[in-house]
Structure 1
Amino acid sequence: MQGETGVVVIGAGMGGLAAAAGLAAQGIKVTVVEAGDVPGGKARGVPTPSGLADTGPTVLTMRHVLDAIFAECGTRTEDELTLIPLPRLARHFWPDGATLDLFTDLDANIAAIEAAFGAKEAAAFRRFDRITRGMWEAFSGSVIAAPKPDLGRIVAATLARPKLWGALRPGLTMQELLRSQFSDPRLVQLFGRYATYVGGRPAATPAVLSLIWQAEVQGVWAIAEGMHGVAAALARAAERKGVQFHYNSRAKRIVRKEGRVVAVEIENGTSIPCAACVFNGDPGALRDGLLGDAARASMEDTRRPEPSLSAWVWAFGAKPVGVELAHHNVFFSADPELEFGPIGVGRMPEEPTLYVCAQDREMASPPPEIERFEIIMNGPAGHQPFPQEESQCRARTFPTLAAMGLSFEPEPEPPGLTTPALLSRRFPGSQGAIYGGSPEGVLATFQRPLARTGLKGLYLAGGGTHPGAGVPMALTSGRHAAKALAADRISAAK
């Protein structure tokens, strides 16, 4: 690999930013080309009277991953961003009037669940927490942190924890596990919600992904600058290490010569020579030939997964009226089947559960009169707009919240709505999915593409690759790509 030629990173999403920063920290020349006008990918902000409101991921967990990237760049997270630890993970509301706050503290959670649902359910939660803690200990190192799921370590970790065997039975879904633990369907609904964090439905997502609860209970941070601000901070840190960013520059083709990557062509006609390329986009774009025949051939040995869930996302500024909100809030439907049943057949949910991020709540200062909000309604992936999409989505969002005691003055206008079809156009090859490939199915975790591809010099990063969806996972994928590329570079130089 020619050391002086450098590396091109296609896409300035979280995975691409992590890869660029990690490579530059090793003294490698890096150029990032990004189709949009700012870094962040799906972590975008939209203008409101109180500043940019997030319209992408909002939950930051596993902060150590972000800390490690900034440390590689010679700085600290706290010098780049204002992160506020949230002792309250989320506030949950049900149509029957029940509410529940969950916290980072185990005893506080037990007390809250006992007060809301009784001692029996509190005991069930204690068991569930113990099971998922065991899952986390068994799989975080061998799957999430590893560049490739290590089946040997997984088997060894599982055999060492016989109390987990029942919860790890092949084919067991998250919903089945939860129903075996909790008697109250509202708690099954609540903890089943973690399937949607990686783009799955509780009744089809493997039970082992209940470990997501442990990623959250170990710490959630609010970000004064917003999640889009995390991307901006990573880009600044990378620039200080010498990374060059070219925005409004869409990659057209990855060029191969003599069996390896030699350049990346941009739509404006520019060709950037390189010794390697990190593609931070949906792997489906490569499979569809959107980056040329060489890139498409590199994916021939990989399976195209079913797409994960998508969503309709409102981002806006307004004055909230009614119930007291936390930073993260979930308003549950009365019947999960009326949400996930329609989604499973490609329709908009009839009775959705709605996530509301009150971006200015539980921060260092009181919220402004006009606060920033993001509301997410899960839905199926898809290329085409749904019939009467905006009006149907509005009818399922704001009257539902109003019936549970929350309204906004004013309600947002249509430009504040991001749809699955818009996501499909904005992120080619994604089919509108937010979380890459679906996590549903026993082998889904093991079928994600890894950092290395079948084309020498082409590497992958992002939520569509191992270890999967979510900000810390996408960042981790970028670190995997940087390490694989650097290792291959050293090997080629010998």
Structure 2
Amino acid sequence: MTRTVPGRTDHVVVVGAGLSGLAAALHLLGAGRRVTVVERDASPGGRAGLLERHGYRIDTGPTVLTMPHLADEAFAAVGDSLRARVDLVPLHPAYRARFADGASLDVHTGAEAMEAEVERFAGAREAAGYRKLRDWLEKLYRAQMRRFIDVNFDSPFQLLTPDLARLAALGGFGRLDARIGGFVRDERLRRVFSFQALYAGVPPARALAAYAVIAYMDTVSGVYFPRGGMHALPRAMADAAAAAGADLRFEEPVTRLERSGDRVTAVVTAHGRIACDAVVLTPDLPVAYRLLGHAPKRPVRLRYSPSAVVLHAGTDRTWPWLGHHTISFGAAWRRTFHELTESGRLMSDPSLLITRPTTTDPSLAPPGRHLHYILAPCPNTALGPGAVEWGDLAPGYRDSLLAELDRRGLDGIASAVQEQCMVTPADWQARGHAAGTPFSAAHTFAQTGPFRPRNLVRGTANAVLAGCGTTPGVGVPTVLLSGKLAAARITGAGRPSRPGAARPGARPRPVARSAEERRPA
């Protein structure tokens, strides 16, 4: 049986109102717990935050939403619905890929549309290979989801299931790049189905083929955009949690945890003390461990994913050939990954993700204006330039990035910028992200599944971790799952908390709290 938090767990404090914390809060509320959420910022979102500048509404975190049913599970826990609160727009195409040779490919998540596009782009043989690749991705997803992703691990022996044999038979323990190449030979197509490994922190040539499940999410299951921006998702989750009785407290940073033996008894914030029976910690691992007073010992230090520079640009013009999401591939490939993960140098020939959210929702910018987010992967601060060095590098890197975009068809972009904000590894580090990366611990084999930092921490009986540093990992879908899995550690799998607890999917009555109860002790 999966381990759960022992003893009383009636009142749970969730530290952090990001996606994982809000997902945990909703699942806990659905199981009848009283929930208090404390957040250092003035609004929900965490990494999925919002920056408002002169009429521009800028998403500061993820720009791609896949697997929305995982978000809907959290809403359903309190009898609510994602689609009742968020207007989701399916993106067609999901991506537009542009290559150094001038060719372009629209990435469709529909099978027939994508097969036709691949045939136009690379011929009938590659189109047939794509259909086989798609079938393999679907089987890979089915083999992994129930046993390896949406699961709390207490031991590596939990891997020993029939699904492990299925995963092995599918070639999941081979190398990603080689496995993709067994279906499609065109090197450009191979990039489209393997670049996602970068966000897992492992070059495609070294990544396990099992990580192609990320490509399944991106290229098969569908890509969506919430009207109002990605920040609309955490905002809606916070509203649903409040409606279900959660006490949400913003601008209330946590300073320490009070303990009695191996149990956390209270969360102390800048505004007072909140007694609790259990706590869910969603900050990045070093911050969470610092609050707990110790970090679990590992035989090898954690290895972190590459970071990213993100240039948010509000412009007075746009370029019609851009999609909502455009991947601009440089000519270099293996060298790029070596620079990001081995030598620690800035990309000499970058591959860039360009997001233009005003393609789908013009209201995110003033009339006649446009938003462009340019994400350029870069080494983390443990491998490449440190946070202090980025202070000197940032202005020149911005200019070189704009010049590179100009060469790739965004002609005149430097003069078109009316409003800008550039985020570097120094900024991520200042936010508490280890090694200056928002992508947390890399998904090497030794840091995946049961080998990833556990969400239960030895030495503390009633604290559970959630977020991208713990189970199951990095990305919006997996972070939402981490909140669900953290809640399950407290509530138990499929069992009510106590007589009269709300059934999963039922909306609990709001908790009435007196002024005396709300007053810090």
TM-score > 0.5, shorter chain as reference? yes
> 1:161 and 1:473, CA in 2 relative to 1: closer, same or farther beyond 3 A?
closer
* Deviation for aligned residue 1:458: 0.2
Name the aligned partner's letter for residue 135 of structure 1: L
Deviation at 1:416, TM superposition (A): 0.3
Query: What residue number does 1:230 align with?
Result: 233
Distance 1:488 1:80 in 2: 27
Question: Could you give the per-residue CA deviations for residues 311-362 of structure 1, whole angstroms, max 9, x where no partner exists?
Answer: 0011232134434221111111111134222212222211111101110214
On the 8 A contact 1:199/1:434 being kept in 2, the answer is no
Q: Corresponding residue for 2:472?
A: 467
Specify the alignment match of 1:440 in structure 2: 444
Q: CA deviation at 1:363?
A: 4.9
Cα shift readout 1:399-436 (whole Å, capped 9, x = no counterpart): 222222124364558960111111011125x2222222
* Change in CA separation of 1:492 and 1:65 when aligned onto 2, cut-off 3 Å: closer
Secondary structure of 1:57's counterpart equals coil
1:221-274 deviation per Cα after TM superposition (whole angstroms, max 9, x unaligned): 1111211121111111111122122222221222220221111122x2622111
- Is residue 347 from structure 1 mapped to residue 345 from structure 2 by the alignment? yes
Aligned to 2:248: 245
Q: 1:115 Cα shift? A: 0.9
State the 1:488 CA deviation.
Answer: 9.5
Counterparts of 1:413 and 1:51 in 2: how far apart (Å)?
Answer: 10
For 2:368, give the aligned amino acid: E
Do the aligned partners of residues 130 and 159 (structure 1) sit closer, same or farther apart at CA in structure 2, a change above 3 Å counting? same
Which residue number corresponds to residue 380 of structure 2? 381
Aligned equivalents of 1:118, 1:252: Cα separation in 2: 60
Partner of 2:178: 176
Unaligned runs of 5+ residues in structure 2 are: 1-5, 500-521
What is aligned with 1:194?
196
Q: Unpaired runs of 5+ in structure 1?
A: none
Contact 2:25 2:241 in 1 (8 A): yes
Alignment-mate amino acid for residue 435 of structure 1: F
Give 1:475 deviation, angstroms.
0.9
* Partner residue in 1 for 2:358: 360
User: What amino acid sits opposite 1:453 in the alignment?
Assistant: V
Q: For residues 275 and 309 of structure 1, do their structure 2 counterparts lie closer, same or farther at Cα, with a shift above 3 Å needed? A: same
Relative to structure 1, is the Cα distance of residues 98 and 427 closer, same or farther in structure 2, using a 3 angstrom cutoff?
same
Aligned-CA RMSD value: 2.8
Is residue 316 of structure 1 aligned with residue 313 of structure 2?
yes
CA deviation digits over 1:372-400, x for unaligned, max 9?
A: 22111111221524453223422442222
User: Percent of aligned positions with the same letter in both sequences?
Assistant: 29
After TM superposition, give the deviation of residue 151 of structure 1 in Å: 5.6
Distance 1:354 1:320, change over 3 A: farther
Q: Does 1:397 align with 2:401?
A: yes
- Output the CA distance in 2 between the equivalents of 1:88 and 1:14: 26
Question: Using a 3 Å threshold, how does the CA distance of structure 1 residues 162 and 248 change in structure 2: closer, same or farther?
Answer: closer
SS of 2:435's partner is coil
Between stretches 354-363 and 318-327, larger displacement belongs to 318-327
Q: Partner of 1:19 in structure 2? A: 24
Q: C-alpha displacement at 1:135, in angstroms?
A: 1.0
- Cα distance between partner residues in 1 of 2:266 and 2:330: 51
> How many angstroms does 1:70 deviate by?
1.3
Show the counterpart of 2:508: none
Q: Distance in 2 between matches of 1:152 and 1:227?
A: 35
Q: 2:505 aligns to what? A: none
d(CA) in 2 for partners of 1:218, 1:466: 22
Per-residue CA deviations over 1:25-67 (Å, capped at 9, x if unaligned) read: 3332211111222211111122244431212101111111111
Does the Cα contact within 8 Å between 2:316 and 2:417 map onto a contact in 1? Answer: no
Distance in structure 2 (CA, Å) of the matches to 1:374 and 1:21: 31
TM-score between the two structures when normalised by the length of structure 1: 0.90
Does the CA contact (< 8 Å) of 2:115 and 2:130 recur in 1?
A: yes
Q: Distance in 1 between matches of 2:172 and 2:10?
A: 47
Contact 1:48/1:317 (<8 A) preserved: no
Give per-residue Cα distances to partners, 1:154-190, cap 9 Å, x unaligned. 65124347751xx224xx3322323343322212222
| Structure 1 match to 2:517 | none
Q: What does residue 423 of structure 1 align with? A: 428
Letter of the 1:390 partner, please give it: A
1:224 is aligned with what amino acid?
Answer: R
The DSSP-based 3-state class of the residue aligned with 1:325 is coil
- How far off is 1:493 after superposition? 7.4
How far, CA to CA, are the matches of 2:67 and 2:132 in structure 1?
Answer: 23
| Cα drift, residue 107 of structure 1 | 1.7
Provide the rounded CA distance (Å) in 2 between the counterparts of 1:116 and 1:459.
Answer: 48
Partner of 1:273: 275
Classify the secondary structure of the residue corresponding to 1:316.
Answer: strand
Kept in 2, the 8 Å contact 1:338–1:352? The answer is no
Secondary structure of 1:74's match? coil
Structure-2 change in CA distance of 1:279 and 1:212 (3 Å)? same
Contact 1:328–1:356 (8 Å) recurs in 2: yes
Q: Which residue does 1:101 correspond to in 2? A: 106
